Amino acid sequence: MAPHPALFRQADAALRVGSARPGGFGPPVELSLRSRLGLIVIFGMFYGAVMGAHGGRPLQVLYSALKVPLLLSVAFLLGLPTFFVVNSLFGLRKDFSKALGALLSAQAGLTVILASLAPITAFVYVSGVSYQPAILFNALAFGAASVGAQGILRREYRDLIAENRAHRLMLRSWLVIYIFVGVQMGWVLRPFIGNPDQPIQFFREDGWTNAYVAVAEIILGALSGAR
Amino acid sequence: MAIIESGGGERRSSWVQGLRDLDMILRGDRTRTSSLRAGAVEIAPGRLSRVIIGLCLIHGLFMGTFAMFSRNGPALGQVVATMVKVPLLFYLTLLVTLPSLYVLNALVGSRLTLGSVVRLLVATLGVNVAVLCSMGPIVAFFSVSTTSYPFMVLLNVVVFATAGFLAQMFLLQTLQRLNIAQTLADAQIPEPDPDTPSPIRPVSDEFLGRRVKTIFRAWLVVFGLVGAQMGWVLRPFIGNPNIPFTWFRGRESNFFEAVFQTIGNLFS
């Protein structure tokens, strides 16, 4: 059997963390903090690069590669103080490092799953898909990766919840905050793929708007337009 | 909020100590039933208040980023006004509700002194501001990337309401624990305490009558209403970008009507 490079070994660990090792022997799979952070950056950049390759423009590839880890980490950091304070209030301070570790494992798992979908994304691009369907496809990829990461998160949180039911509330609150902030962050950081009719920019000029308001306006516009 | 002052060593450690006090309150170390037997939450209200005001100013700054990044140019007057109003909001609410809480406690037979009630309310304020400030970065992020005034108002209302709700839970549990501790001290029964107590989870209610719990809960509703209306009276906190800056707006309508109107405005 060919030896796996350390990076892929760690990526494998990110997917199996908390569960039994393949082969069934030995302690459950673990992953160091640094490895998790490293995976988020490396695999996040990899998927971002593939995402941005839609128009075949290298600058967009670079920008998107930078944006994916940025999106994940800033959304994470913004929610962290609240997570910390609320955990303390519910008497869960002593478990905080474990809880934080679980969240980071889920993030690392997310990027590994995304990276595994990258070849499919590339294939879809090569098949000549246009801009709007490309956005849709990438949204689906992120969605699928999130669902997978949820599984990792729940597995890691199982022990914590068994110890103290309040952890379940903490997990749910975290998800609400993370998704709420993450959607806005994703909107602000656009473009990830790059409208082929528009120049390549890191941010759009009118970019710093509110995702929720924009979507509400689109929906209302569609409803009132349809009348 | 200057940390560097003459006699710096003493002052600086007072801030650190104040923050440590706040941390202990958050963790529940100050509100274990066993610690409350003395009849009061053991905190230094002056030192803790300084930290609270500091955190209020910081949160005011977070809120003020909306006025700073407004399309019509930065309204620095609004930023300063917001920073001043946040601590004012909390302390005025405390002042307005303090007498009724003291009287209520006396009526249910608690032996809490006025000083103890003040300490209890300051500790609650500490929890409120800690949760509030932890959501500050999220508020600032949305402020910078949003031009919709109704959205920002609603977001801030939700943030303040969440912090207020958790602080209320803290207040309720601490009130109940103070009464329980008093009962236990009278009967000289020891109460087992977990290693990391949660300040907002209820302890067993063997020793607290249902009537007392209902009375406390009713009082908390009043507390919440006063706080909400105080926020309305002290407005504007965020500052409608289409209206020139003023320190206060005219006296009209009330908080709840305004929230409904704002929700309506969000979709227009």
Q: In 10 A of CB A218, how many CB atoms?
A: 10
Q: Which one is predicted more confidently, A158 or B70? A: A158
So what's the pLDDT on residue A4? 57
What one-character DSSP code corresponds to residue B198? -
Tokens of A15: 């997917």
Cα A97 to Cα A33, A92, A102, A103, B236, distances in angstroms: 11, 10, 9, 10, 40
At residue B262, does pLDDT exceed 70?
yes
* Chain A residues in contact with B25 (beta carbon < 8 A): none
Determine the Cα–Cα distance for residues B197 and B33; give it in Å rounded to an integer: 9
At residue B155, does pLDDT exceed 90?
yes
Q: Where does the pLDDT of residue A68 fall: very low under 50, low under 70, confident under 90, or very high at 90 and above?
A: very high
What mean pLDDT comes out for the span B27-42? 80
Q: Which of A107, A201, A64, A75 is nearest to B145 (CA)?
A: A75
So what's the pLDDT on residue B235? 83
Determine the Cα–Cα distance for residues B206 and B236; give it in Å rounded to an integer: 46
Q: Where does the pLDDT of residue B174 fall: very low under 50, low under 70, confident under 90, or very high at 90 and above?
A: confident
User: Does residue A206 sit within a domain?
Assistant: yes
Q: How far is B49 from chain A (nearest CA, A)?
A: 19
Q: How far is B6 from chain A (nearest CA, A)?
A: 32
At residue B55, does pLDDT exceed 50?
yes
Tokens of A60: 């967009």
> The domain containing residue A166 runs over which residues?
6-18+27-226
Interface residue of A82, A83, A188, A215 to substitute, partner B, most B CBs within 10 Å = A82
Chain A nearest-CA residue for B26: A89
Given a contact cutoff of 8 angstroms between Cβ atoms, the answer to whether B138 and A177 are in contact is yes
* Chain B residues in contact with A208 (beta carbon < 8 A): 144-145
What mean pLDDT comes out for the span B78-89? 91
Domain ranges of chain B: 8-266
pLDDT in tens, B192-230: 666 667 888 776 655 566 777 777 788 888 888 898 888
Q: How far is B32 from chain A (nearest CA, A)?
A: 11
The mean predicted confidence, pLDDT, of chain B is: 83
Given a contact cutoff of 8 angstroms between Cβ atoms, the answer to whether B78 and B67 are in contact is yes
Tokens of A100: 């934080």
At residue A157, does pLDDT exceed 80?
yes
Q: How far is B91 from chain A (nearest CA, A)?
A: 22
Chain B nearest-CA residue for A90: B198
Q: Which of B210, B214, B206 is nearest to B187 (CA)?
A: B206
Interface residue of A71, A88, A178 to substitute, partner B, most B CBs within 10 Å = A88
CB contact under 8 A, A177 and B134: no
User: Does residue A106 sit within a domain?
Assistant: yes
Dmax (CA) for chain B in angstroms is: 66
pLDDT in tens, A69-127: 999 999 999 999 999 999 999 988 888 988 999 999 999 999 999 999 999 999 999 88
Query: What 3-state class would DSSP assign to A61?
Result: helix
Tokens of B65: 């980023």
At residue B187, does pLDDT exceed 80?
no
Chain A with chain B: Cβ pairs closer than 8 A: 82
Given a contact cutoff of 8 angstroms between Cβ atoms, the answer to whether B158 and B63 are in contact is no
Cα A203 to its chain centre, rounded Å, is 20
Sequence-distant (≥ 6) Cβ neighbours of residue A190 within 8 angstroms: A203, A204, A207
Sequence-distant (≥ 6) Cβ neighbours of residue B27 within 8 angstroms: A88, A91, A93, B196, B197, B199
So what's the pLDDT on residue B51? 92
Q: Which one is predicted more confidently, A51 or B239? A: A51
> Which of B131, B141, B200 lies nearest to residue A181, judging by beta carbons?
B141
User: Does residue A1 sit within a domain?
Assistant: no
ipTM: 0.84
At residue B39, does pLDDT exceed 90?
no
At residue B31, does pLDDT exceed 60?
yes
User: Into how many domains does chain A fold?
Assistant: 1
> Which of B28, B131, B194 lies nearest to residue A85, judging by beta carbons?
B131
Chain A nearest-CA residue for B27: A88
